[in-house]
Structure 1
Amino acid sequence: MDATTFDWRAFLTRWSEEWAGARDDLAALSADDAGLRRRRWLGDAPAAEADIAAMEARIGCAMPPSYREFLRVSNGWQHAGGFVWRLAGTHEAHWHEDASGLGEDFDEFWGEEDNPEEVRAQVGLWSRALQLDVASDATYVLLDPEDTGPDGEWAVRVWASWLDQDPRWYASFAEFMVAMHQEFHSLEADRDRPESTAAFVNETTRTQDAAVAKARTAALRGRHEEAIPLLVEARQYGRPHAAELLQQIGRLGGRHSDSEQQPHPDDPRFLTELLPLDAADLLNSGRGTDSWRFADSERFPGTAQAAADIWRESKEGTYRYAPGGAFGEAVDEAREQARWGDTDAAWRTLRAAIALWEPLGPGHIAPVGLLADPLLAPVLTPARRLELLATPRGGETGPAPDPAGDQDPHGLSWLARPGELSAGQSSPCDFRMVLVEGITPDALPALLGSSPGAPLAPPLRRWDVSRHHRPRQRTFSGYDDKALLSVGRAGTDWSFGFDESASTAFSMQRFITPAPAASVHGLAIVVWSQWRLDTPVFHLSAARNGTLLYAFTVRDAVPEHSSGSLPAELTPTALGFDMPGTAARVAATARALEAITERYGVSLPRRALTEGRLHSFESASWIRPPGPGETYMTITIG
């Protein structure tokens, strides 16, 4: 803030008028405050130049510019915000000299070597600062002569005993006073008022409410960057909807989300947007269900049952975002696409419908409830969230943003790239998969399930698949290898079952390819790629109408098995599996996956497999039963 152009007279007069206008109940005022209300002035008489000179002689240095200009208008101030009841004038300001006894503890903490420079610079504050608070609620207002800006302003640091944090920092006394004016407004906006008293409305509230309305319109037109500074300032004044609009922008990646608004049952967005988001946040935080206060029927009798249902559905991964209307229809379609792995198509569906979205009230600028839906939240990548923010909606118009584009790589060869399935892994990941032509993903359990009528689990995150299907498994057999297959669409008329956590190492002597069982309606392809042991293995087999067409297995560049008539481009030699070295084996695996893609037009959705949720089931064993005389081990834990 430029102290040379700051109009102290106008600012302090407006503040005094607003304070007096908010004090309707004279009987509740103290004698001093009643006098302030009658005078409609929170300050003292202006300080004479002689008073300022005498003060500076007593203090031993010139005062910073904005504090000197303040004194020329008012030699002291009452009710600076909500917790400082009087600020010092020329006769009351004095060096603090650690009179509070806080310096030793703070200096020890601030002076630690690993602290940033700005933290270490606070060492000695309590000894060197000029104290401006005269009467307060255990709050200190300190001018720091060693934190001086190029304009000669001293920084102000404010600390209260009831705040568990470092002192708040302001670049100048003028900036501090603006913040205290904002604090006054924020407290007045939250204060309960009897119906007989006038509403808290004045020039400042009207100006800030107009700014919120302007910001909301800009945000709905896709210009959220214009909205942010308007909303930040309005939030400081406690204006309605400013904080929640900022929160929605922040939720969608608009670089500002430092205030989290708790949902409130009176808000029309409570059940469709706020409560599900709060449930998702609580689940992701790992805190216990005891923190879920909204299911308390005594505190929230009207919505407690709905809250309990939302909590249960969120835990189970079955919660559905259902905004209704034309946009709601698109959400339903996108959800169906996402649950079978096609997150790119799901985003295209949502993107096409964003313009049709309608807000639920003046505090609503975006369908942030999408982020609470377990299937749709992974669809909204950071780039797509920003695209949503930049898309005009809610009846407003404007230019459409550049599309974020698809996220999934084409085909299958990405599976051979290190780190693609598990971030940070330096080698390709283990996986096995079944690609089946002519059926939908929900038909796979009937062909490959471990038991008749094996059900599909609700859509699960990759790390939840095992604990869902085998929550209490204690027995493990060397002749039992039932895969946990996540399922989805692998292209036009193709479905996949995918397992990245094979429970056993590949064994050619015991392996039974599930390709024939999966191929009763068309072609089926099985791939098993193993890298976690010293001897990498790659297996490929294909079947049609229950009959094996071809198969081969290569272990560490050595063909281990081959049968049927292999397509020319899928022979181990053509793929380069006969070349030694890890890099050559990785390249051969990538070529094999690329050749399968080109020959059959199949693809796997990386984002759904790594970040999303997919249905899954337990397959029949990929290992044959033990033969005569063969032994195996069964281990039971507990």
Structure 2
Amino acid sequence: MTQTTTFDWRPFLLTWSGEWADCQDGTSGLEGDEAARQARWLGFPPASEERITAMEARLGRRMPPSYREFLAVSDGWRHAGGFLWLLAGTEEARWHDNGSGLADDFEDYLAEDATPQERKEVDIWRKGLQLDVESDGLYVLMDPEDVDEHGEWPVYTWAGWRAAPPERHASFREFMCEMHREFHRLRAHDGDGGAEFVNDTTRELDALVEVARLDALRGDWERALRALDEAKAYGRPRATALGDQIRRLLGRTYLVYYDGLAADPRYAPELLPPLVVEHVAHSYRDDSTLKFHLRGADEELLARAYATLDQVRTGTYRYAPAGPFGEAVGEARELARWGDTDGAWRTLRNALPLWEPLGPDHLAPLGWVADPLLGPLLTPPRAEELLSTPRGGQRGAAPSPTAGDDPEGLAWLAEPDPGNRRGSYRFVLVEGVEPADLPGRLTDGGTALKEPMTLWDAHRVRSDKREFSSYDDKALMAVGRAGPGWSFAFDAEPAPFNGQRFVSPAGAASEGTRAVVVWSGLRAGHGRPSFHLSVARDGVEEYAFTYEAGEIRTSGAIPDALAPSRFFGRTKEDAAAEQAVLTAVAEEFGVRLPRHALLHGRLHTFTTRSWTRPPVAGETYAVMTLGWGPALVADGTAPEGTGPDGG
């Protein structure tokens, strides 16, 4: 909204004129520039009230307040920004009336469902008041049909070479303030070797940047970001690089390149990895843009950048800063590796006061967002908690800890999921065994764990398999810790449950300990609603039950707390029954599964032995082989002597 307070135009315009004059060398060549430089005044004599009234009579409209006030100080303006050489006063302002033909061009691009605002931005080329007199292809129009409560008209600017929609400014005053900022931005990045661009405005803004840096380290990131964005609008050095670090942690990654700071060997260990991560996410294998964002870097740093690129793409990048904070990072990685993302975050958070910046332009640890295990920890609440924590030797009030992302127990598995990814799942819990030892209990050959990856990536890798059998049900399982004293193996995409051929892995998994198997297909999109629980100790199944298609089968002495009749057979609310039985299992064994790690993190995986028995004599099965041509499907019948005993 446009501000209602009266703007003091004269000191603003005098300051602008003096700043412009001080950076001129007298060779611009535009008419009137030398006189303006000597007079230190970019404007013209003020317009009288009579002159302004005559203009309004000519145009048939009363001018908006901020433009009227400007004209009363200067009847026109030179060099408004970098591309508008002469701005209209009372004599030059005129209705555009589609003089450029742009109304027709923009109308051709309008979609059928264009918004009212988009249609207004076309109409302005017919109804707008044109203020550009001389420019570098830049059009400046005010919209008389869009009047706010203060009588102000918005100003639109557009140039074909910008390849962008018209830019809207809420009032003439805001337009002129933006043109002053544009003038500063262009001079701040002018490398022509002219006069040094230093003045009261730049000194004030540079001091503001330094205050913002300290505010950010004290944890007042919101105040710091407002100040840095203000200084960035004027093109002040450091402001963009510092602000980009805050924006990156907040997840605002668009056009975040750290303004060349990632090419500085001192800061590259922290800023290069997140830059590479964004490149991988949006480059589509065109690696030339990475070098562009590292322009100015030496060959050694470029080699480091491409090595980091390979590590990020292969999931092998490891964030390993030095000092006490680095030690905490190592501990956090180990916790995240086995699914304890809440514990990993607490470890990082508690060590943040020990973190030290690599230099005066470093605000926070950023390299960890590229680590495949640590990066998924950064949720929006945690990002704000990190930024609110005093660090780098500064003092401030510590923020309240964010709530953990992992609920207790198992009941979260029954929560509705828009993607229906948890309609069916199965898992094995083993007591007193490390996650790394689970393959030895659930495979025939002791398959080693694969490097941590998301479950989606793990299943995508598995999809490269070329042959499938209807009698072979090997599970791809992610592993981790399931609470004090327990480990888990979890399969998020099992095949349909087949109670006739299912073989619980609980017995084999329980050698010398205790194991629990759960398979839920209550909300599966295929097959019949089902749920299975089996518990074994020392290689022998103690009890089990299976609910399938409305029937319950049991074996052994099932504890009252897990009796299937408490959950099934009396209701058709499968989701409610699922939640209740999962809660009972969690309470009975004191276990939990890490939601954040399973849904968003990376975990080690391995492939189990089949969860179904081989076909017996007379049973049919199918084998599908995928090749370059059509899929080949072979139907078969198990011969005599095959099966659980015959092989």
Cα shift at 1:604: 0.5
Q: Residue in 2 aligned with 1:154?
A: 153
Range that drifts further, 240-249 or 313-322: 240-249
Q: Name the amino acid aligned to 1:411.
A: G
Q: Name the amino acid aligned to 1:66.
A: S
Q: Name the amino acid aligned to 2:505.
A: P
Cα shift at 1:488: 0.3
Distance 1:590 1:151 in 2: 58
Q: Is residue 240 from structure 1 mapped to residue 237 from structure 2 by the alignment?
A: yes
| Equivalent position to 2:543, from 544, 550, 560 | 550
Q: Output aligned runs, 1:254-333, within 5 Å.
A: 260-261=256-257, 264=260, 265-267=262-264, 271-285=268-282, 287-291=283-287, 293-294=289-290, 301-333=299-331
Q: Is residue 227 from structure 1 mapped to residue 224 from structure 2 by the alignment?
A: yes
Q: Output aligned runs, 1:611-622, within 5 Å.
A: 611-622=600-611
Q: Residue in 2 aligned with 1:516?
A: 507
Cα shift at 1:27: 5.3
Q: Output aligned runs, 1:489-500, within 5 Å.
A: 489-500=481-492
CA contact (8 A) 1:295 1:305 kept: no
- The Cα offsets for residues 115-173 of structure 1, whole Å up to 9 and x where unpaired, read as 33333333421222221111111001112222223332222111111123332112222
Distance 1:553 1:231 in 2: 62
Range that drifts further, 513-522 or 261-270: 261-270
Q: Name the amino acid aligned to 1:8.
A: W
Distance 2:295 2:148 in 1: 54
3-state SS of paired residue (2:311): helix
Q: Residue in 1 aligned with 2:7?
A: 6
Distance 1:26 1:3 in 2: 39
CA contact (8 A) 1:185 1:238 kept: yes
Distance 1:200 1:169 in 2: 28
* Aligned residues: CA RMSD: 2.6
CA contact (8 A) 2:476 2:608 kept: yes
Q: Residue in 2 aligned with 1:192?
A: 191
Structure 1: runs of 5 or more not aligned: none
Distance 2:254 2:607 in 1: 44
| Equivalent position to 1:624, from 583, 600, 613 | 613
Q: Report the number of matched residues.
A: 621
Q: Is residue 436 from structure 1 mapped to residue 425 from structure 2 by the alignment?
A: no
Q: Residue in 2 aligned with 1:83?
A: 83
Q: Residue in 2 aligned with 1:45?
A: 45
Q: Residue in 2 aligned with 1:526?
A: 517
- The Cα offsets for residues 372-395 of structure 1, whole Å up to 9 and x where unpaired, read as 222222222221112122222222
CA contact (8 A) 1:3 1:174 kept: no
Q: Output aligned runs, 1:189-588, within 5 Å.
A: 189-194=188-193, 197-253=194-250, 260-261=256-257, 264=260, 265-267=262-264, 271-285=268-282, 287-291=283-287, 293-294=289-290, 301-419=299-417, 423=418, 425=420, 429-449=423-443, 451-452=445-446, 454-468=447-461, 470=462, 472-503=464-495, 505-531=496-522, 532=524, 533-560=526-553, 562-573=554-565, 575-579=566-570, 581-583=571-573, 585-588=574-577
Cα shift at 1:336: 1.1
- The Cα offsets for residues 212-233 of structure 1, whole Å up to 9 and x where unpaired, read as 2222222222222222332222
Q: How high is the TM-score relative to the length of structure 1?
A: 0.90
CA 4–569 in structure 1, closer or farther in 2 if over 3 Å, else same: closer
Cα shift at 1:192: 1.0
CA contact (8 A) 1:484 1:618 kept: yes
Q: Name the amino acid aligned to 1:518.
A: A
Distance 1:450 1:463 in 2: 25
Q: Name the amino acid aligned to 2:286.
A: D
Distance 1:597 1:3 in 2: 61
3-state SS of paired residue (1:290): coil
Q: Residue in 2 aligned with 1:17?
A: 18
CA contact (8 A) 1:249 1:257 kept: no
3-state SS of paired residue (2:142): strand
3-state SS of paired residue (2:154): strand
Structure 2: runs of 5 or more not aligned: 628-647
Q: Residue in 2 aligned with 1:604?
A: 593
Cα shift at 1:309: 2.0
Distance 1:521 1:36 in 2: 92
3-state SS of paired residue (1:582): coil
Distance 2:174 2:295 in 1: 44
CA contact (8 A) 2:368 2:375 kept: yes
Distance 1:410 1:4 in 2: 55
CA 493–458 in structure 1, closer or farther in 2 if over 3 Å, else same: same
3-state SS of paired residue (1:148): coil
Q: Name the amino acid aligned to 2:249.
A: L
Distance 2:319 2:119 in 1: 48
Q: Name the amino acid aligned to 1:145.
A: P
